[in-house]
Structure formats: structure tokens, C-alpha cells
Chains A and B, each alone.
Chain A
Amino acid sequence: MKNQRKILGIAILIILYLSLADIIIPFDPIASPDKQNLSNLPPLSKAYELTIESGEKMFVLNYRIYNRFVYYDQKFSSGKIEIDKLKKVKTLLFVFGTDNLGRDVLSRTIYGGKFSLIIGIFSSLLAFIIGVFVGTISGYFGGIIDKILMRATDVFLAFPKLFLILVIIALTPSQTILSLVLVLSLLNWMSIARLIRAEFLRLKEAEFVLALESVGLPGLRIALKHILPNAIVPALINIPLMVGDIILTESILSFLGFGVQPPTPTWGNMISEAEKSLISTWWLPILPGLLISGTVLAMNWISDITFESKT
């Protein structure tokens, strides 16, 4: 009961995140207001948006009013304007700094996490469906069909996943989120298929199945309505584990430049961009990495507590 509440809590957190991500971000995650003057600001730096009479906006790092003039400092220059011309001042706070194009790291991380999570969740659901399908067919028919399917599963399992994904991605002309979901789910169904099959074989011998058979129910109906729901339940534990695993894989792919392409941010490609200028902008990889670890940790933790409560 306590565990169920924990899992429900995490699920609600994820749903809230997905629905609120676009609203709560303070800055535009993709386009930057001022590429030059706002670039590479360290965490907790402030900047000011000065709106001038003509409606033009100016981004400065510092300003002071003195003698009817507004003196301002920008990244590479400074200057002054008359105070009458200044209409509005807005303070901008970049909690986690900005990247080389002047985009807010916090906004990009929140926005990018949406794609990482969506890819993780949808791929694992699809992989689960494929796994259940293969496992059911294998377990229900048995014999030669079972042998062939299980050998195919073995072949897929023996492939090093990341290498195979890279090959497939290299062979396909362009990557969209949909194609990534497809590739990732096509390479993650194997363990589910094995589990479902094993459960099927075990349940086939169970007494309630014998009872149903003796009542005269047709085999297909027993398999789909009575065995399958029982076989699926133990496999459900694997979904969070799979989500975490796929988020990791996706971030690795994005890191290597084979995943979601910039300017759309994902946690992986943000770290990849950050790696190019580690010495000067150390703050860029911190937040996305923490969030990947946090998400994967939450998923592993769910599967851990469900596993422990079972045994």
C-alpha cells in the first residue's frame, strides 16, 4: 500500500512535469533574445532588459543612473543613453547560467526533459507491447513456432544494443522522435518476451487452467482472457526499469550526435554541446546530468521497491 503510493506519486510528478514544462520555463528554450551579450553567463548571474523609447530592447549586464544618463555595461562594450529615452527595465535572473548562444540553461533543461521522458515512456510501452505479443504467441503455440521465436529473441539479445542502434540509425536517412521511439522499442522487447513466455508456460500447467479446460472453454479464450492477464502482471515491474534504461540510451545517442538534433534540446545533446567547451563553461553539463541521473534513479528505485515488496 505504501509502495503503491510512492509509485503513484512519481507517476503524478511525471505527468505534472510533462503538462507544465512549457508553462513554467522562464525563458525561450530555443531562440535567444541576444546571442552576443547574454552568452556564457555563469550560474546566478543577472542581466537587465532595457526597453528604449523606440520599443527596441537592449540587454545589459549592469547599469547605473547618473546625471540624467543611464550608463550601461555589456559583455564587450559599454555606453550611455539619456534617461528620458528609457521606458522600462526588467531584471533577468539566470539561475543555472546561459549557454554559448545566450539561452537559459534551466529553461532548456526543463523543456528538453520533456522529449527525454516522452521517448523513454513511449518506447518502453511499445517495447512492452511487442514483448507481450511475441511472448504470448511463443507461449501459446509452443513447439516449432516457440523455438523459432526464442532463437530470434536470442539473436536480438546477443547484439550489443548500442552498436545495433547506431548501425540502424546510420542506415536511416534522418532521425525524428518517432523514428527514435521505433528503434529503441524494437531493441528492448526481448526480456519482456522471455518473461511472458516463461509465465505462460508456468500458468499453462496451473490448476485453474485445467479447470477452465474441463469446463470446455476454447483454448484461445483461456489464453487471452485468463492466462495473459496473469502473465502480464509480473512483467509490469520491468516497465520502469526499461524507461530508465531507454532514457539512458537516448541520452547516450543524443550525446554522440545520433539522437534528437539541435536546436531542440534534450538532456543528452545539451551535455554533448557542453562537452565542447568544458574548461570555460563548466556549469553547462551539471543540471542536465543531474536530471538524467535523478530520473533514472527514480525509475530504478520504483523497480527496487516493487521487487522487494514481492519477495
Chain B
Amino acid sequence: MRLVLKRLVNSIFLSIGIATLVFFLIRILPSVSFPDIYLNPRLSEEMIRKIESTYGLDKPLLIQFLNWLKGIITGNLGFSFIHRKPVINCIMESLSSTLTIGIPALVYSFGVGILIGVQSARNYGKLIDRITSSSLLVLYSIPSFWLGIILILLFSYTFRLLPPSGLHSFNFNEMNFFEKTFDLLHHIFLPALTLGTPPMAAIAKFTRNTMLKVLSQTYIKTAIAKGLDQKTIFYRHILPNALLPVITLFGLYLPVFFAGSIVIEEIFSIPGIGKSMVDSILQRDYPLTVGITLFVSFIVIVGNLISDVLYSIFDPRIRLK
């Protein structure tokens, strides 16, 4: 419990640190926050002052900073220039699209990754293990955007099996429930596969390594020596200990699935967080860019916190330290 509390305090400081860094990143380049007002010759001096006071730019830096922090805590991340909506609403809207892809990808990468890793370690040294290990290394090295393009080329353009972009068909609203579900699954498949594959390879590789480490421990030898049957050894002694470190990966990969992948959303035209980020940069929708950056870093911190807490729940050794 004390450990969790300590981590929590740590995370809060980390969040403040990130907010500070972002704030000063903006203030180092003051013309960026309102690129046009300082350059527009038709705006009078008085008008500029008025805009500055509306957005609180005329106050001292410290007050501005405190206001900025207050805004973040109350969820007020500013107002998007392009969408004419509060930034937080824009993020929430794109979050649903991101999660539609992210959650299946999460399930796929952890499910398949752990399965492959465990099987590979059980067959350590055999041909099948060598083949899977080297293909995992290859899968891990393929850039996801290229993988996406190749999958689109194969499944959408050559075999015409799956749609190349978007989340719904154009007549989505007229469908009944089953058709809707099918349509959604149809659209989710490729992006989720692309998003999940590199993490899947990493998880499988990691699982295999931790499995091998556990297999070489003396308590496994003891268990074998005292005549326990294979199943009990595997499910009671090997698996729990081998999967424990995989929990840390959960926290590490949380941002990948919950904050979306910029490239994959770009390729498959999914209106998620990553795509909003790129669009906001291209459209100079500056508050949205900052808002998304803060949001994603927040998810990273939460991910780390979750994996710490999970670890201390499942591994009593850590709690004792």
C-alpha cells in the first residue's frame, strides 16, 4: 500500500513536470500560440491587447502558468480553433474511434503473443522454436505503416476481402444490429492486426525469455524431482512466475492501444487520436495539438502506475521490500 501511494505521488509530480515542460515549450516560441495575430498588419495595437487579455497573455508568466495548471486539473484544455469546440470534447470524440481499434488489438497482441511465447519456450531448441523466434524478430522489425500498406494491397486490392479504410460502410445507419456488428468487425480487422502485430512479436519474445529464465530455476528441478506431474508443474509453478513480468509490458503498451497509433490511423483513415494530432499540426490547430500531447502523456503515466500497482498486487516480494 505504501508503495502504491509512493508511486501515486511520483506520478503526480511527473504530470506536473510534463505540464511545465509543455508550457515552456509554448512560451519559448510565443508567436506559435497565436501565429497570425502578431503578423497581421491590419490588426491594431489595441486589438492585439484585447486578444491578449482574452486569452490571459498579458498577465505575468507565473500567473499564466498557474492558470494553465488549473485548466489542466479541471479538464479545461482550451478551445480548438478549427473544430470550434473545447479541446477535451474533441479528444473524447476521437478516443472512441481509437478504442474501437485499440481494444481488439490489445486482446490480440497479448493473447497471441503470450501463447506463442509460451509454446516457443516449451519447445526450446527445437526447429519450431527457432522458426518462431526468427519470424518474431522479423515481425518486430517491420515498420507498422508498411505492414499496413502491404496488408491493404493484399486483402483489399488483390483479394477484395476487406475494406481499406474507415470504420463503417456508407450505409451503416440503415443496417440492423447483426449487420452492424459484422460491418464493424469487417472494418476493424486490418487496422487492429496492423496495430497489434509489432507489440505481439515483442510480447511473445519477452514471454519466451521469461519462460526460459523460470525453466532454468532450481525450484522447477525440485518440482520435477519430487515427482509432480507435468501439468501441475506447468500451470502452478512455471506459468504464474513466467507471466508476472509480462504485466509490466501491459503498462508499457497501454499508450499504444489507448492513445492510438498516429501512422495506422493515418493509413486506414480512422478518425482517432493519432489522426487528430496530425491534422491539428497541419491545420495549426495549436490548442488541440498541446491538448492531445498532454492527454497521451497522461495515459503513459497512468499505464506505468497501473503496471506498478498490478505488479505489487501479484508479486508479494515487491510489497515487502
Q: Scoring A residues 277 to 290 as 1 if CB is less than 8 Å from chain B, else 0, what string do you get?
A: 01100100110110
- Contacting residue for B14 out of A158, A164, A278, A293, CB 8 A: A158
Whether the pair B143, A158 counts as a contact (CB closer than 8 A) is no
Whether the pair A166, B143 counts as a contact (CB closer than 8 A) is no
Q: Say if the beta carbon of A160 comes within 8 Å of chain B.
A: yes
Which residues does chain B contribute within 8 Å of A274, judged by CB atoms?
149
Which residues does chain B contribute within 8 Å of A286, judged by CB atoms?
150
* Residue ID in chain B nearest A170 by CB atoms: B281
- Contacting residue for B149 out of A166, A275, A299, CB 8 A: A275
Whether the pair B263, A252 counts as a contact (CB closer than 8 A) is yes
Whether the pair A304, B297 counts as a contact (CB closer than 8 A) is no
Which residues does chain A contribute within 8 Å of B263, judged by CB atoms?
252, 255-256
Q: Which of B60-68, B133-141, B306-314 interfaces with chain A?
A: B133-141
Q: Say if the beta carbon of B219 comes within 8 Å of chain A.
A: no
A171, chain B: closest CB distance, angstroms: 5
A183, chain B: closest CB distance, angstroms: 13
Whether the pair A151, B17 counts as a contact (CB closer than 8 A) is yes
* Residue ID in chain B nearest A169 by CB atoms: B281
Whether the pair B278, A256 counts as a contact (CB closer than 8 A) is yes
Number of A-B residue pairs having CB atoms within 8 Å of each other in the complex? 112
Which residues does chain A contribute within 8 Å of B142, judged by CB atoms?
289, 293, 296
* Residue ID in chain B nearest A258 by CB atoms: B281
Range of interface residues on B (Cβ < 8 Å): 35 or more
A304, chain B: closest CB distance, angstroms: 7
Q: How far is the CA of A171 from the CA of B280 in the complex (A)?
A: 12
Q: Say if the beta carbon of B301 comes within 8 Å of chain A.
A: yes
Q: How far is the CA of A282 from the CA of B290 in the complex (A)?
A: 37
Give how many A residues have a beta carbon under 8 Å from the other chain's beta carbons.
Answer: 41
Q: Say if the beta carbon of B153 comes within 8 Å of chain A.
A: yes
Which residues does chain A contribute within 8 Å of B297, judged by CB atoms?
158-160, 163
* Residue ID in chain A nearest B290 by CB atoms: A167
Whether the pair A285, B150 counts as a contact (CB closer than 8 A) is yes
Using CB atoms and an 8 Å cutoff, list the residues of chain A in contact with chain B. 151-152, 154-155, 158-160, 162-164, 166-168, 170-171, 244, 248, 251-252, 255-256, 258, 271, 274-275, 278-279, 282, 285-286, 288-289, 292-294, 296-297, 299-301, 304
Using CB atoms and an 8 Å cutoff, list the residues of chain B in contact with chain A. 13-14, 17-18, 21, 25, 29, 32, 137-138, 140-143, 145-146, 149-150, 152-153, 157, 255, 259, 262-263, 266-267, 277-278, 281, 289-290, 292-293, 296-297, 300-301, 304
6 cross-chain pairs, A with B, having the tightest CB-CB distances, nearest first: A289-B146, A297-B141, A296-B141, A155-B17, A170-B281, A160-B296
